[in-house]
Amino acid sequence: MNSKEFFEELSCRLGREEKDVEQLLSSFTEIMTEKLLEGKVVALDGFGVFEVKKEKERIAFNPVSGQRLLVPPRLVLGFRPDAKLQRSLANE
């Protein structure tokens, strides 16, 4: 399902215009991004938990050249599905 199909489905279920649904989801993702950048955890009941984790710097090995490279630290988005979501997917 692409975003256009998702917006159409959601607008039908909510009985709203597609542009309203797009604006709502755009605001939702903006808020979620802001909170994650602030280092906060975003938990959505029945869906899951999003959090940003910091990976430490590490030394990697390039098998082709044989060189060792220093990989700088980076932020990684993590997601843990809610137990309800996992159960419903397992039952399908």
> Minimal CA–CA distance to 89: which of 51, 48, 49, 50?
48
Q: What is the mean pLDDT of each run of 10 residues along the chain (92 residues)?
A: 89 91 93 94 94 93 91 94 89 74
The whole-number pLDDT of residue 81 equals: 93
Query: Which among 60, 91, 84, 86 is positioned nearest to 74, based on CA atoms?
Result: 60
* Residue 28, pLDDT score: 94
Residues 48 and 73 in one domain: yes
The pLDDT of residue 35 is: 95
> Which range marks the domain in which residue 4 is found?
1-38
Residues 48, 84 share a domain: yes
Q: What is the pLDDT of residue 3?
A: 86
Are 34 and 66 in a shared domain?
A: no
Q: Are residues 4 and 34 in the same domain?
A: yes
Q: Are residues 45 and 25 in the same domain?
A: no
User: What is the DSSP-derived secondary structure letter of residue 20?
Assistant: H
